[in-house]
Amino acid sequence: MREQCECQSCCESLGMVSRRFLNLHRGRERPEACPALPPASLCLHPALMDVCRIPRAIFALLLMLWTLAANVSAHNVDTSYARIRIFADHLEVRLTSDIFTLRRIVPDLDANRDEGLSREELRRATPAIQKFFRERVKIEINEAASDLGEAKDPFWPLDAPDPIPAAAWHTNEALVSFGFDKPLASPLKSVALLFDTFRAFGERHSVLGVFEYRGQSTEVLFNIAEPDYLFDLAFASLRASEAKIPAPSLKKTEPEAKARTAAHRSNADDSPGWRYFKMGIGHILSGFDHMCFLLALLVVSRLRPIIAIVTSFTIAHSITLILAVFSIVKVDRQFIECSIAVTIIYVALENIWRKGYAHRWVLTFFFGLIHGFGFANAINPQELPPQAKAKCLFMLNLGIEAGQIAVVLVLLPLSLALAKWEHGPRAKIAISITVALLGLAWFVDRAFDLGRMPF
């Protein structure tokens, strides 16, 4: 009888049998073997069977959300670009964003609302976009505030149709560049950029910058955690000399450059490994969706299961982070972002209907694989220095773990306190409902590209 009930529960939870087939199990006659599934004793590990017992309404909701996420269009990494070319008498600044990002500057960019952006529509919106860049991209020349200089006509994407269809607005085929030319009245010693664009573009947005000077390129990643960078010409020349790259004589500038090296490194750290370590920490601490996922996991957990949950999550997201960054596995970015929202909804709702959580380490491993792709979406593989790609990836992952441990240490006392409080169960339900609603809001915002969620 016990075997019969377990088989029935497994079949019902997976939704793989008909009413007539269930009646055979409930009624007087019982077939020799279950034609749809093996006996319950051979089905799954108990922890996996516990995962399978999902209320049918919740299962249908999750299936619907994932189906919707699977049918959204492929998207570009949420990144803009900046190129600063330094000459003896002037600076050239080129700022590049896709049309999806430009619509956050000019919402009615598609003026005739025909789901296509024409050259004429871009021309009409250009003054507003250039004004935005002048106000939000701050530049300092020789440590004095300046401006971007004379604006040039925008560069239409190469080989792009006219108009560009809406389906391509968030892809590499829809990158529009805006150029500025700044004359220099005196010899250039340093140039600094500060991007005050991330609240308009989204906190997960990043800008990949390149400073070009005397044949050498220096890549810099701007984000909400590190929005500025100082490019010191004397320091760059010193580095070129140390790397045995032909450069002008440094007899006059070398002492000054050495004296400014320490300040340069402290104000705008030049170590790629350290920069990616801080990026990993920042991604966790500014990634409210990942923190809500951890909150939903930990709010109902005790100390010993928390160790298994965190370890499982760490191993899982490390696997997919490596696979994604090295382009071994490619998954659509928007599908992953929507799937992360689904994992938040599921874990939060499970806190409400389930009493035991022994299976959480299994569930966390599966969901951790999804979150690993989300961590990979925070960077562009082209941003990683080719000569130190593995090191930067390791430091990024280490930063993610450091941020995750910090979040766990903050949430653990809350979880332990709720376990002892007489109103703890009600508080856990209230927290779980709030997290589930946030997850649903994130899903809708990401699935339909609304850009309304402020975090």
Q: What is the pLDDT of residues 44-69, one digit of tens each?
A: 444 444 444 555 555 555 565 656 55
Distance CA 158, CA 391 (A): 35
Mean pLDDT for all residues in the chain: 77
Identify the residue with better confidence: 242 or 441. Answer: 441
Residue 263 lies in a domain: yes
Residues 241 and 377 in one domain: no
Residue 35: pLDDT band (50, 70, 90) is: very low
Residues 209 and 252 in one domain: yes
Closest Cα partner for 397 from 323, 293, 309, 300? 323
Distance CA 323, CA 93 (A): 35
Distance CA 386, CA 243 (A): 16
Residue 192 forms beta bridges with which residues? 140, 230
Closest Cα partner for 384 from 273, 278, 293? 273
Q: Position of tokens 């701007």?
A: 222
pLDDT score of 372 more than 50:
yes
Residues 119 and 38 in one domain: no
pLDDT score of 307 more than 90:
no
Distance CA 188, CA 231 (A): 11
Residues 171 and 95 in one domain: yes
Residue 434 lies in a domain: yes
Residue 274: other Cβ atoms inside 10 A: 14
Distance CA 231, CA 94 (A): 16
Q: What is the mean pLDDT of residues 82-107?
A: 93
Residues 283 and 237 in one domain: no
Q: How far apart are the first and last CA of the chain?
A: 51
Q: What is the mean pLDDT of residues 199-208?
A: 84
Range of the domain at 12: 2-43
Establish how many alpha carbons lie within 13 A of residue 267's alpha carbon, considering only the half-sphere containing its beta carbon.
13
Residue 88: other Cβ atoms inside 10 A: 8
Coil, helix or strand for 151?
A: strand
Residue 288: other Cβ atoms inside 10 A: 15
In the chain, the number of structural domains is 3
